[in-house]
Amino acid sequence: MNQASALTIARPHVPRRTIIVLGPWKFPACISSAPNLLKSIQILFSSVLSIRVLNAPVIFTLAISTWTTSSQVLAETVQPCRIEVVERGSGWPVPLVMLETTHRVKLTTDNAGRVAFDLPELMGCETWVTVRSDGYEARADGFGYRGARFVPKPGETVTIEVDRTCIAKRLGRITGAGLFVESQKLGLETDWRESGVLGSDSVQLVEHDGKLFWAWGDTTVARYPLGVFDMSSATTPLRPLASFEPPLRLPLKYFTDDAGRVRGVAKMKGAGPTWLGGYTSVPDRSGKARLVATYSKIRPPMETYEMGLCVWNEKTENFEHLKTVWEKSTLEPKQPPIPGGHPNLFSDESGKKWLLFGNPLPELQCPATFEAWQDPQQWKTLKPQEHFTAAIDGKPIKPSFGSIAWNEFRHRWVCVFTQTFGAPSALGEVWYAESNSPHGPWGPAVKVLSHANYTFYNPRLHPELTPADSSILLFEGTYSVLFARKPEPTPRYDYNQLMYRLDLDDPALAPAQGDSKR
């Protein structure tokens, strides 16, 4: 053939990677013999003139001046191999498990613990993947390698078992895109719809007006590197989870603009992002519940220059400025005590109700009314204990951020917090402790979650999501490369919210529970 001819391989369902190969080249035996892939193909290229890649479905067009085949070229759709990673014993799917081939291709399980293994160069070949996941591990072989070996074949299923090495059980990712991306490549979870959110910072949550109101800080979207910087927000029913086992499916209904895009709900005046804290619902004099929060205005690099109070407008579905409490100046360079962090409702011995504000331990309290919340004269500052004590060795642990909650099952106050300058990760070590009072003293702490080199900050307990007397305690936090030692970001998971589960009757938590009985 004197003129260029074209070989076109159309893949109508499964997007593929682009591979450029300079001839002469021959498919290896494991490729040419793979079922449903290519049958007895031998192509000799004298040159590769062009490669075009279109939107899905992806079409590869290789224009060549001469070519020969040993048999007819078949244009077929190749199904991926389905890999499922599960916890040994429970059989629970495990999200956020990385599988790495010996040629450095990395694949990560989705919320259902699945990977759509679609590497054409390894189909039909005996393949090793190293298995990595903070808090979970594959058993080591004789050389100390932790992974699995299998032969990936289109349409078949491979199961990899891992052991959980931490106390907390990973339920999955709450926010971001592609929660079930690998499953959907396999034709599963096709009813799950994307929110338009790619990344979300720390959470605030409160029950209000018969729903749960969720809010997150800086939010990443697809259309531009600068996303939503005045709090994205969503609602769910009061009991949004059908199960407390993975895969996690939280039906978030986001507040959106006229174009259907996720929008901010706290557009306070002034340059820079607006962050909300102290998210709570309090009754006013008439008995009407008011959704309120503390706002902070931020300027580069991460300097707070204004703080104040804001109130939710039920009609416009936005927070509105109520009052400015502090503006940074020469005369007032430091932030005053303010009702921020994660609030808790507390009744004292006389039956009076108070709102406690802290992150993790209470630093301020005020009467649980709308009028007292907005009156600094009724705010009382508290001095929480400065550190916890590790149950394992008695060493002091300085908390960074976290939250507390009353737990009916334990009949005590419980706390999860991230350690300041922990090890091995500086802000990725999460601990659990208990107390008879929200004001302390807090008992010995047990580490429930650890990261080799990743951050898990601002953990927030979710007593709202489980029955009051349940032994299950849920918490979420921000999974991020921020403040870590330059790890490689995990695609889709990075800068998003992950949820974990603690079973309060787990013997591993006994050192934090002391001699206390239910």
Give the pLDDT confidence of 107-141 residue by residue, as tens digits.
999 999 999 999 999 999 999 999 999 999 999 99
- Tell me the C-alpha distance between 75 and 78, whole Å: 10
pTM metric for this prediction: 0.85
Average pLDDT over residues 227-240: 97
In whole numbers, what is the pLDDT of the chain averaged over residues?
88
Do the Cβ atoms of 136 and 164 come closer than 8 Å? yes
Quote the pLDDT of residue 41: 38
The residues near 424 (Cβ < 8 Å, ≥ 6 apart) are 450, 451, 452, 453
Averaged pLDDT for residues 489-501: 98
pLDDT at 394: 97
Return contacts of 182-189, CB within 8 angstroms, 24+ apart.
182/107, 182/109, 182/110, 182/112, 182/114, 182/115, 182/116, 183/110, 183/111, 183/112, 183/114, 183/116, 185/14, 185/80, 185/116, 185/118, 186/80, 186/82, 186/114, 186/116, 188/112, 188/114, 189/112
Express each pLDDT in 459-475 by its tens digit. Answer: 999 999 999 999 999 99
**Quick one: average pLDDT of 179-196?**
97
Residue 166 has φ and ψ, to the nearest 5°, of: -115, 165
Record the tokens describing residue 512, joined without a space.
Answer: 């934090």
pLDDT tens per residue across span 251-264: 999 999 999 999 99
Distances (CA, A) of 24 to 14, 17, 66, 70, 73: 28, 21, 11, 15, 18
Question: Which of 501, 308, 514, 488 is closest to 410 using CA atoms?
Answer: 514
63 has pLDDT over 70: no
What burial letters (b/e) apply to 79-114, b meaning 16+ CB within 10 Å?
bbbbbbbbbeeeebbbbbbbbbbeeeeebbbbbbbb
Tokens of 139: 């058993």
Distance (Å, rounded) from C-alpha 397 to C-alpha 318? 39
Read off φ and ψ for residue 216, nearest 5 degrees.
Answer: -130, 155
Q: Average pLDDT in the 218-233 region?
A: 97
Q: Are 418 and 479 in contact (CB under 8 A)?
A: no
Q: What is the pLDDT of residues 6-58, one digit of tens each?
A: 333 333 344 444 343 444 444 444 444 444 434 333 333 333 333 343 333 33
Report helix, strand and coil shares of the chain as percent, to nearest 5.
5, 40, 55
Q: Which residues contact 315 (CB under 8 A, 6 or more apart)?
A: none
Reported as type and span, the H/E element at residue 162 is strand 157-164
Write down the pLDDT at residue 150.
98
Say what the pLDDT of residue 69 is: 37
pLDDT in tens, 351-362: 999 999 999 999
Q: What is the pLDDT of residues 93-112, one digit of tens each?
A: 999 999 999 999 999 999 99
Asked if omega into 95 is within 30° of 0 (cis), the reply is: no
Write out the two tokens for 29.
């035996």
Cα–Cα distance between 25 and 318 in angstroms, integer? 62
Q: Which residue has the higher pLDDT, 508 or 35?
A: 508
Q: Is the pLDDT of residue 3 over 70?
A: no
Of the pLDDT bands very low, low, confident and very high (cuts 50, 70, 90), residue 77 is: low
Q: What is the pLDDT of residue 64?
A: 34
Where does the pLDDT of residue 514 fall: very low under 50, low under 70, confident under 90, or very high at 90 and above?
confident
Per-residue confidence (pLDDT) for residue 175, from 0 to 100: 98
In this prediction, residue 516 has a pLDDT band, given cuts at 50, 70 and 90, of low
Pairs from 143-151 (Cβ < 8 Å, separation ≥ 24):
147/99, 150/126, 151/124, 151/125, 151/126, 151/127
How do beta strands 169-173 and 157-164 pair?
unpaired
In order of their start, the domains of the chain are: 5-64 (no CATH), 81-167 (2.60.40.1120), 196-351 (no CATH), 385-518 (no CATH)
pLDDT digits (tens, 9 = 90+) for 361-389: 999 999 999 999 999 999 999 999 999 99
d(CA 381, CA 287): 26
Separation between Cα atoms, residue 12 and residue 404, nearest integer Å? 51
- Backbone dihedral angles phi then psi of residue 341, each to the nearest 5 degrees: 70, -140
Q: What is the pLDDT of residue 24?
A: 40
Digit-coded pLDDT (tens) for 130-176: 999 999 999 999 999 999 999 999 999 999 999 999 999 999 999 99
What tens digit of pLDDT does each residue of 397-448 get? 999 999 999 999 999 999 999 999 999 999 999 999 999 999 999 999 999 9
Measured CA to CA, the distance from residue 298 to residue 308 in angstroms comes to 12
Average pLDDT over residues 60-68: 37
Q: In Å, what is the CA distance from 515 to each residue of 406, 444, 469, 507, 518?
A: 18, 12, 20, 13, 10
Q: How far is CA 294 from CA 163, 206, 236, 459, in A?
A: 42, 14, 22, 19
User: 80 Cβ partners below 8 Å, 6+ apart?
Assistant: 14, 116, 117, 118, 154, 185, 186
Residue 503 has φ and ψ, to the nearest 5°, of -100, 110
- Cβ neighbours of 28 (radius 10 Å): 11
